[in-house]
Amino acid sequence: MSLSSLATLDSNPLFTARSRAFGTHLRPRQLSRPSNVVVCSVIPPSASALSVAQSACQGLSRIESLSQVSGVLGCQWGDEGKGKLVDILAQHFDIVARCQGGANAGHTIYNSEGKKFALHLVPSGILNDDTLCVIGNGVVVHLPGLFKEIDGLESSGVSCKGRILISDRAHLLFDFHQEVDGLRESELAKSFIGTTKRGIGPAYSSKVIRNGIRVCDLRHMDTFPQKLDLLLSDAASRFKGFNYSPDMLKEEVEKYKRYAERLEPFIADTVLVMNEAISDKKKILVEGGQATMLDIDFGTYPFVTSSSPSAGGICTGLGIAPRVVGDLVGVVKAYTTRVGSGPFPTEILGKGGDLLRFAGQEFGTTTGRPRRCGWLDIVALKYCCQINGFSSLNLTKLDVLSEFSEIQLGVSYKHADGTPVKSFPADLRLLEELKVEYEVLPGWNCDISSVRNYSDLPKAACRYVERVEELVGAPIHYIGVGPGRDALIFK
């Protein structure tokens, strides 16, 4: 795949779609950036142009070196900015595939004109005209939401026809799954999980207890009513607040007859599609939803999602062999956020957390709810790197830390008695009781959102990036300094 012809976008030649075959101690600054944040020294025009060209060349080199099947996965509790990197990399891949999760994954991306798109089920490669988007068997699909998303994209001039394939093995998520999700959360009362109430957990529950309905079942409307009746009856027997009647079944069946007709052009045996693409040397980029600290096995259980957003989910969610999976890029914010309940060792409470939240605009893409905020947790990040074997990292939202005169890194955990905790523990009680040891680094107190070359960053910002690399033992090749496509530094 040739990467030689690139046009200019926002004065950065890297980001144009191409045609191709397929805690504490805070001393925060005020948030009013125009009056309080100094703009870093301006580079002369000739030097600026050279800097952009150098960054573009380095970026192309990074992207060209990625393996045939690469992946982008989250390193924290989600919301790290995976969608933006996938959108940028997708310009150089034939296929972008989702392997797990559902509409609880909210990926915000911007097109070349700066228009914002909030995607939930459709892979983030959709803005690149020649990219095929695959929704794999490991995803749970809410058809009303999917069609709403497709309609929104089409109305914004983004063509989806012939560009989205949905696995015939993917399980369907129904409206009643969302209702059950809310009833389940109400039952848990003070120990609620804090789900998005999009029905993800109940849909995966149906799958695991083997009474779920798959996309391929929509091709057999003679048996579909019986299968749906079994699902609805099971929910009614389990939850007193769930009211089920024959009229509900009839209404749902009629609705899904229409959905089945509309969905038919999108349905494919994506296991065959993916493996044929691998044989044909097509480049495939896997987009993870949620993140490793929300993994059903490796996350802060039970305050987790219901799928495997770590590396193992790629193979089971797409039907491809482990040996074909190559480079994995881990996406991590320059600080840490999470939503819902559950342990959060480096959380900043009070005004400090509020400052970080508003500086980073930390409100959910899917729900709009405020995210809990804290310093970067190195222990959790190292744990995620061990599980996934990342070849490199994408550090996002470095620009947000410009608001702070001091920045802290949570570098180690200790028991209450002072003895070290060697890794990220499974025991929630231990997580709640442990003490975090912090390393304090100086801030840079200037706006870096216009910087496009690593050498142009303030020394303090470079020191922060390099200290994270030292502590984690993984290289940071991509640095986000803003939401736009071009706001990316290649290191």
Same domain, 187 and 161: no
Nearest to 110 by CA among 135, 85, 132: 85
Distance, in Å, from the CA atom of 407 to the CA atom of 351, rounded to the nearest integer, reads: 15
| 79 a catalytic residue | yes
Same domain, 110 and 198: no
Same domain, 249 and 124: no
Same domain, 57 and 143: yes
| 107 a catalytic residue | yes
Q: Which helix (H) or strand (E) holds 133?
A: strand 132-135
pTM of the shown model = 0.86
Same domain, 214 and 273: no
Domain that holds residue 43: 33-168+269-490
Q: Binding site for GTP: residue ranges?
A: 78-84, 106-108, 371, 397-399, 480-482
Residue 26: the pLDDT is 38
Same domain, 292 and 349: yes
Q: Binding site for Mg(2+): residue ranges?
A: 79, 106
Same domain, 454 and 317: yes
Q: With contact defined as beta carbons under 8 Å apart, do 139 and 240 qualify?
A: no
Same domain, 362 and 303: yes
Distance, in Å, from the CA atom of 233 to the CA atom of 384, rounded to the nearest integer, reads: 40
Same domain, 211 and 348: no
| 207 a catalytic residue | yes
For the chain, the farthest-separated pair of C-alpha atoms sits apart, in whole angstroms, at 73
Q: What is the CATH number of the domain that holds 94?
A: 3.90.170.10
Last residue of a domain, one of 239, 265, 291: 265
Structure tokens belonging to residue 5: 């012809």
Q: Binding site for substrate: residue ranges?
A: 365-371
Same domain, 238 and 291: no
Q: Is the peptide bond before 302 cis (omega within 30 degrees of 0)?
A: yes
C-alpha pair distances (Å), 341 with each of 179, 294, 344, 361, 373 = 20, 12, 9, 20, 13
Last residue of a domain, one of 265, 289, 304: 265
The answer to whether residue 65 sits within a structural domain is yes
The answer to whether residue 20 sits within a structural domain is no
Residue 15: the pLDDT is 33
pLDDT in tens, 79-124: 999 999 999 999 999 999 999 999 876 788 888 888 889 899 999 9
The answer to whether residue 9 sits within a structural domain is no
Q: Which residue has the tokens 């919301």?
A: 79
Backbone angles phi, psi at 77, to 5 degrees: -105, 30
Per annotation, catalytic residue among 107, 177, 382, 491: 107
Q: How many domains does the chain have?
A: 2
Pairing verdict, β 336-338 and 372-374: antiparallel
Same domain, 146 and 183: no
The answer to whether residue 18 sits within a structural domain is no
Per annotation, catalytic residue among 197, 207, 382, 477: 207
Query: pLDDT confidence of 236, banded at 50, 70, 90?
Result: confident
Count of Cβ atoms closer than 10 Å to residue 175 Cβ: 15
Residue with the bigger pLDDT between 351 and 398: it is 398
Same domain, 390 and 474: yes
Q: What value does the mean pLDDT take over residues 276-300? A: 97
Per annotation, catalytic residue among 79, 87, 295, 456: 79
Q: Which helix (H) or strand (E) holds 285?
A: strand 284-287
